[in-house]
Amino acid sequence: AQSVTQLDSHVSVSEGTPVLLRCNYSSSYSPSLFWYVQHPNKGLQLLLKYTSAATLVKGINGFEAEFKKSETSFHLTKPSAHMSDAAEYFCVVTPVRAGGTSYGKLTFGQGTILTVHP
């Protein structure tokens, strides 16, 4: 079984300040973890992914996330928020089976709405 908990349903920051979106997971298998972003009336876009390589993962638009197995966390950060970052963010987990194959089925967190103030 697997699950994802996004600890904040809403995060509000000022433009130019750091962003932290928190995510904790549980998985019966070694997980692959992802962050997706959903802008209003647009499709889901992959920000970054962790697949058992480097624990610090860099993604698009200046975002990065660190996989911490001991804390079962995969928090998303950005040093300086931009107005265009305002969107809903989803932390996602999929289990990876022994041998390195993935089921491909995704379990989504509840989402965090990021608001960026001028």
Partner 1 sequence: SAVISQKPSRDICQRGTSLTIQCQVDSQVTMMFWYRQQPGQSLTLIATANQGSEATYESGFVIDKFPISRPNLTFSTLTVSNMSPEDSSIYLCSVGQPIMNTEAFFGQGTRLTVV
Q: According to the binding rule CB under 8 A, does residue 118 interact with partner 1?
A: no
DSSP-based three-state secondary structure for 31? strand
Torsion of CA 115, 55, 3, 27, to 10 degrees: 180
Q: Which is nearer to partner 1, 7 or 106 (CB)?
A: 106
Task: Give min distance, CB of 86 to partner 1, in A.
Answer: 17
Considering the complex, state which of residue 82 and residue 97 has its C-beta at the smaller distance from partner 1.
97
Gap between the Cα atoms of 34 and 17, Å rounded:
23
The contact pattern for partner 1, residues 27-66, with x = CB under 8 A and - = no contact, is -----x-x-------xxx-x--x-xx--------------
CA 57 from chain centre, in angstroms, equals 11
Site size toward partner 1 (CB under 8 A) is 24
Does 96 bind partner 1 (CB under 8 A)? Our answer is yes
Say which residues have a Cβ less than 8 Å from residue 54's Cβ, sequence separation at least 6. Answer: none
- For partner 1, which residue of 80, 103, 115, 117 counts as binding (CB under 8 A)? 103
| Closest distance of CB 118 from partner 1, Å | 26
Counting Cα atoms < 13 Å in the Cβ hemisphere of 58 gives 3
The two beta strands, 112-117 and 10-14, are: parallel
Could you list the residues that contact partner 1 (CB under 8 A)?
Answer: 32, 34, 42-44, 46, 49, 51-52, 90, 94, 96, 100-111
